[in-house]
């Protein structure tokens, strides 16, 4: 019984798809409803309107994405640039400090001119906080002992950093060069008083060493080196990161 | 549709003329009244126009069109918080065209037969009616119906068998 019912169902199905089912033809004959003319007109008008503005709609769609896309690209570039600059600064500190020129205080500006040939901080410059440096990298760099630095602290040989291929020209490096040029030309600023006749290290290197000590957690050593630095350069403004260290040094 | 998407306004007119009747009847039989059918039918075409930029010819256009229509109908029933199958008892019967006055007896008989058939179709469960109408109004094959309704080919066959069986029983005296 069930088999014959299934067979009849299959036959009807076959007849349906061959368009020879009696009530299928009857349905097509009876089913003659059409959409109202108003609906036809509305749809066709909308299609024409859309076709007329088709390219603009496509453009609008693209424009919707343009601003967020541009913003995302700018943010990505900015983040990448920041990372690259940070990496470069770390590399340069590893191989040697690349401090930006220190700011000369108003008092220093007011002092009489220094003798020719003395290296001085460039006017209008400022010492910015050097980036953090891994202590082991400082240790690994080609070193020479810094005068006034505590035992164990090494610093780089300046010429090796200047010729390092890892250090691309940056704003800081350019400022350093201009400072060196200004020092070589002998500007009118006065060199800070130096006790004794021993050569005084470059303030930028000194600050970098102090910063490296702080980064290594050797705060006491950093304080003592900073005290030495202050004796040699009382007027140079410290980088922001080192200012708290100075405030902890008892006034002399 | 690809031509229309690419800016050929006339291509839409051709498509519309080809599918308007079948689609309208499909929507009308599924939703049960003319006012709703008009609204849904217009929505389907408007959606098609709005989405023309995203149209990809991955299937026959009629399959795509009836899929859009079916989705719209299902959304309509969902929005009214009732499953389409539940709507069968409540749906308002569509008035068949009135027989012309003074027509011969044979024509009157044909008209009565048509009214009976349409009433039987409208009384079918939603899924069976859908399968039947997709074939009758949309001209879709088994595979296309399966694709539009999102079920397997055998399920479509089963639905059609049940639908045809019911229609045959209901129309026995007319056959």
Q: Inter-chain contact A34–B24, Cβ cutoff 8 Å?
A: yes
Q: For the segment A146-189, what is each residue's pLDDT rounded down to a tens digit?
A: 444 444 444 443 433 333 433 434 444 443 444 444 344 433 33
Of A13, A23, A31, the CB nearest to B175: A23
With H, G, I as helix, E, B as strand and everything else as coil, classify residue A156. strand
Query: What's phi and psi for B123, nearest 5 deg?
Result: -85, -5
Contacts of B113 in chain A (CB under 8 A): 26, 30
What ipTM describes this predicted complex? Answer: 0.79
Does A18 contact B at CB distance below 8 Å? no
Q: Inter-chain contact B117–A27, Cβ cutoff 8 Å?
A: yes
Which residues 54-93 of chain B have a CB within 8 Å of chain A? none
Q: For the segment A203-248, what is each residue's pLDDT rounded down to a tens digit?
A: 888 888 888 888 877 888 888 888 888 888 888 888 777 777 777 5
Structure-token pair, residue A46: 């909308």
Please tell me the distance in Å from B109's CA to the nearest CA on chain A: 12
Please tell me the distance in Å from B146's CA to the nearest CA on chain A: 15
**Residue A200 host element (H or E):** none
From first to last of its 175 residues, what are the pLDDT tens digits of chain B?
777 777 777 888 888 999 999 999 999 999 888 999 999 999 999 988 888 777 777 778 889 999 999 999 999 988 886 655 544 444 444 555 555 555 677 777 778 888 888 889 989 999 999 999 999 999 999 999 999 999 999 999 999 999 988 888 888 776 6
Where residue A95 falls among pLDDT bands split at 50, 70, 90? low
The answer for residues whose C-beta is within 8 angstroms of residue A169's C-beta and 6 or more apart is none
**DSSP states along A121-154:** PPTT--PPPPPP--HHHHHHS-EEEPTTPPTT-E
Contacts of B34 in chain A (CB under 8 A): 33
Contacts of A43 in chain B (CB under 8 A): 16, 42, 45-46, 49
Of A5, A12, A58, the CB nearest to B53: A58
Contacts of B50 in chain A (CB under 8 A): 50
Show the beta-strand stretches assigned E in A116-232.
Answer: 143-145, 154-156
Q: Which of A28, A30, A55 to mutate to test the interface with B (most CBs of B within 10 A)?
A: A30
Q: Inter-chain contact A31–B164, Cβ cutoff 8 Å?
A: no
* Sign of the CA dihedral with A180 first, then A181, A182, and A185 last: positive
Q: Inter-chain contact B161–A43, Cβ cutoff 8 Å?
A: no
Which position has the token pair 């390092």? A164
Please tell me the distance in Å from A67's CA to the nearest CA on chain B: 21
Instruction: Locate the chain B residue with the closest alpha carbon to A24.
Output: B136
Q: Inter-chain contact B136–A40, Cβ cutoff 8 Å?
A: no
Which position has the token pair 């010492």? A127
Q: Inter-chain contact A30–B136, Cβ cutoff 8 Å?
A: no
Is the pTM of the predicted complex or chain greater than 0.95? no
């Amino acid at each position: 019984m069930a088999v014959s019912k299934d067979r009849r169902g299959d036959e009807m199905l076959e007849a349906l798809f061959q368009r020879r089912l009696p009530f299928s033809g009857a349905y097509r004959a009876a089913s003659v409803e059409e959409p109202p003319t108003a609906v036809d007109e509305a749809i066709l008008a909308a299609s024409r309107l859309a076709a007329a503005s088709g390219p603009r709609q496509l453009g609008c769609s693209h424009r919707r994405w343009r601003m967020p896309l541009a913003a995302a690209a700018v943010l990505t570039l900015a983040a990448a640039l920041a990372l690259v600059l940070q990496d470069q600064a770390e590399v340069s500190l590893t191989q040697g400090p690349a401090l930006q020129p220190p700011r000369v205080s108003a008092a220093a500006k007011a002092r009489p001119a220094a003798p020719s040939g003395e290296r001085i901080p460039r006017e209008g410059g400022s010492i910015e906080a050097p980036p953090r440096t891994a202590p082991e990298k400082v240790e690994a760099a080609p070193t020479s002992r810094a005068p006034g630095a505590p035992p164990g602290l090494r610093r780089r040989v300046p010429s090796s950093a200047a010729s390092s291929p890892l250090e691309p020209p940056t704003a800081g490096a350019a400022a350093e060069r201009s400072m060196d040029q200004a020092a070589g030309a002998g500007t009118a600023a006065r060199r800070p008083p130096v006790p004794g006749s021993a050569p005084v290290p470059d303030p930028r290197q000194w600050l970098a060493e102090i910063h490296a000590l702080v980064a290594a957690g050797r705060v006491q050593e950093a304080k003592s080196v900073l005290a030495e630095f202050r004796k040699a350069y009382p007027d140079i403004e410290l980088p922001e990161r080192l200012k708290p260290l100075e405030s902890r040094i008892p006034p002399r | 549709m690809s031509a229309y998407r690419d800016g050929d306004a006339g291509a839409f007119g051709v498509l519309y003329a080809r599918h308007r009747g079948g689609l309208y009847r499909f929507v009308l039989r599924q939703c049960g009244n003319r006012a709703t059918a008009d609204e849904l039918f217009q929505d389907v075409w408007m959606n098609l126009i709005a989405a023309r930029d995203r149209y990809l010819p991955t299937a026959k256009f009629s399959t795509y069109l009836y899929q859009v229509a079916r989705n719209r109908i299902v959304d309509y029933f969902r929005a009214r918080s009732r499953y389409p199958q539940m709507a069968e008892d409540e749906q308002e019967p569509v008035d068949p065209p009135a027989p012309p006055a003074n027509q011969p007896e044979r024509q009157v008989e044909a008209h009565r037969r048509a009214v009976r058939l349409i009433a039987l179709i409208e009384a079918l469960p939603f899924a069976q009616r859908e399968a039947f109408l997709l074939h009758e109004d949309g001209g879709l094959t088994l595979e296309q119906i399966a694709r539009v309704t999102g079920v397997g080919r055998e399920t479509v066959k089963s639905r059609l068998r049940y639908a045809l069986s019911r229609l045959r029983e209901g129309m026995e005296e007319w056959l």
